[in-house]
Amino acid sequence: MENHSITILLVEDDAGDTELLRESFRRSTAAHNQLLVASTGADALALLNGSAGNDRSSIGLVLLDLTLPDTSGHELLTQIRAIPECRHIPVVVLTGSTNDDDMRRSYASGANAYLIKPVDMGRFIRMVNLLDEFWVKLVSVPGELRATNGSEPR
């Protein structure tokens, strides 16, 4: 299997969860991907719009927490899906909420998957490995929609 690489945008305001995810990425098969972090909805939109000085075409996956300081994850997901250039980017809700209403709203707003944050490092690493295996290595998209990260397209 080829070693594709994308940029993953993590939208997470909790510093502890962000560090746990960074460490999980470092220890996993997903270490070859670039991880961008936005701690607010506004920062995430700036990165997705390319107005933060980044190349938005490199973002190939969004991991989205539902609890953010400036907006709800559901509202941000709706805003992401309203950006024509971002509609194809998979958005995986990654949250501590086990609430069925949060799950329903997330899928109704365009989430591609809903994951509940694991409680320990081993499970976080396993989750990141599976995310990498599926969203980076297995999923196929047409050439014009591929995330480019200075490496092979996925």
Does the pLDDT of residue 89 top 70, yes or no? Answer: yes
pLDDT of residue 147: 61
Per residue in 37-71, pLDDT (tens digit) is 999 999 999 999 887 666 667 899 999 999 999 99
Q: What's residue 150's pLDDT?
A: 42
- The CB density around residue 7, as the number of other CB atoms within 10 Å, is 22
Strand 34-38 and strand 59-64: pairing? Answer: unpaired
Q: From CA 46, how far away is CA 7, in angstroms rounded? A: 15
| Backbone phi, psi, residue 109, to 5° | -85, -5
Tell me: pLDDT of 154 over 50: no
> What is the secondary structure of 74-120 as a DSSP string?
HHHHHHHHHSGGGTTS-EEEEES---HHHHHHHHHTT-SEEEEPPSS
- Among the listed residues 61, 62, 42, the one whose alpha carbon sits nearest the alpha carbon of residue 52: 42
Judged against a pLDDT cut of 80, whether residue 29 lies above it is answered with: yes
C-alpha 89, offset from chain centre: 9
How far is residue 106 from each of residues 92, 111, 113, 120, 149, measured CA to CA in Å? 9, 5, 8, 24, 28
Q: How does residue 149 score in pLDDT terms, banded at 50, 70 and 90?
A: very low
Question: Over the Cα atoms of the chain, what is R_g?
Answer: 14
Domain layout of the chain by residue ranges:
7-139
SS3 content of the chain, % helix, strand, coil (to 5): 45, 20, 35
What architecture is domain 7-139?
A: 3-Layer(aba) Sandwich (3.40)
Strand partners, 81: none
